[in-house]
Amino acid sequence: MAKRKGNGGAGEGRRPNGAPSTEGKLPSKLPLAPGVKYRRILLKLSGEALMGASKFGLDQPTLSQIADELIDVHGLGVEIALVIGGGNIFRGGSAGMDRAHADYMGMLATVINSLALQDALESRGSHTRVQSAIEMERIAEPYIRRRAIRHLEKGRLVIFAAGTGNPYFTTDTAASLRAMEIGAEIVMKATKVDGVYDKDPNKFKNARMYRRLSYLDVLNKSLGVMDSTAISLCRDNNLPILVFNMTKPGNIRRVVLGEPLGTLVLDERRDPRLGPAARTM
């Protein structure tokens, strides 16, 4: 009997949807393009970012746009890891349910979103891995720190699903934790507004956007950049956070190339520029 090649399954050497398989053909590590500020980033996406103009679920054109932008930035030599929320499908802590039970349901929603983004990326030829904090070996790898780092070094995009795997912790906290574990240089939180404001810019025309903030400013003013656990983790490990608008095409590329977009949260003990005049536009 002749020896079969490849992994078998639905169409030898092809993905189930008919697209050619990219396994075994990993590119060598891309050199960093001139002007790129960060080699390894962690991008935090909310589940709502995947809805587009819809009120629930996933919007395919939005997924396609995000995938195209990620592949474009990856082509600059940037190593990209992602954490995605699940609020477009189910939000943990819903009223009337046991908190732990609801949080586990929210974790499963993040897995659905991660698989959807993985499909959008791989249909464009990108090498992608989903790692889940809750083991579900049929559809995702278990989260293993050293394996995640190796995937990044090999040029794969890595999507961390299921939060931290524990109830009572948000995907913001998962993003901060995973960023530190893999040695990311920055956490980039994608939002629908240009940065962090002193009040809701959709309700107040005189709202002012901060260019730079300290971790303590965020905590003391309850600015809602991330939850307090995530902010404290970043502060304790001197991991900067950038909050920026992802609804504008090309903004991820602009950010990694060092353009002054969004709001940067830094260690107030190490950056003397964080005086009152430097914090607002």
pLDDT value at position 53? Answer: 81
Note the pLDDT of residue 270: 58
- Residue 62: predicted pLDDT: 93
Closest CA to 43 of 204, 270, 255: 255
Which of 162, 110, 172, 158 has the alpha carbon at shortest distance from 130?
158
Q: Which residues pair with 160 in a beta bridge?
A: 83, 131
Q: Comparing 69-83, 89-103, 138-152, 254-268, which segment has the lowest mean pLDDT?
A: 89-103
Highest mean pLDDT: which range of 23-27, 122-126, 196-200, 272-276: 122-126
DSSP state at residue 279: S
**Amino acid sitting at position 137:** E
Which of 280, 278, 255 is closest to 268 using CA atoms?
A: 278
Burial class (CB in 10 A: 0-12, 13-18, 19+), 66: buried
* Residue 187 confidence (pLDDT): 97
State the CB neighbour count (10 A cutoff) for residue 156: 20
User: pLDDT value at position 6?
Assistant: 42
- For the cut 80, the answer to whether the pLDDT of residue 60 exceeds it is yes
Cα 221 to its chain centre, rounded Å, is 25
State mean pLDDT over 4-27: 47
Q: Average pLDDT in the 117-127 region? A: 97
Report d(CA 128, CA 139) in Å as an integer: 13
Would you mind telling me the total number of residues written for the chain in this entry? 281
Mapping DSSP to helix (H, G, I), strand (E, B) and coil, where does residue 81 land?
strand
Burial group, residue 175, by CB count within 10 angstroms (0-12, 13-18, 19+) = buried
Task: Give dist(CA 157, CA 221) in Å, integer.
Answer: 35
What pLDDT, on a 0 to 100 scale, did the predictor assign at position 26?
Answer: 53
At residue 85, the pLDDT reads 94
Helix (H) or strand (E) holding 155: none
CA-to-CA separations, 129 to 33, 35, 183, 222, 233, in angstroms, rounded: 24, 27, 18, 35, 25
Burial class (CB in 10 A: 0-12, 13-18, 19+), 1: exposed
At residue 23, does pLDDT exceed 70? no
Task: Give the mean model confidence (pLDDT) for residues 123-135.
Answer: 97
Q: What percent of the chain lies above the pLDDT cut of 90?
A: 67
Q: How many CB atoms lie within 10 A of CB 108?
A: 17
- CA proximity to 14, closest of 90, 146, 162, 122: 122
Amino acid at 31: P
H-helix segments, 75-166: 99-122, 145-153
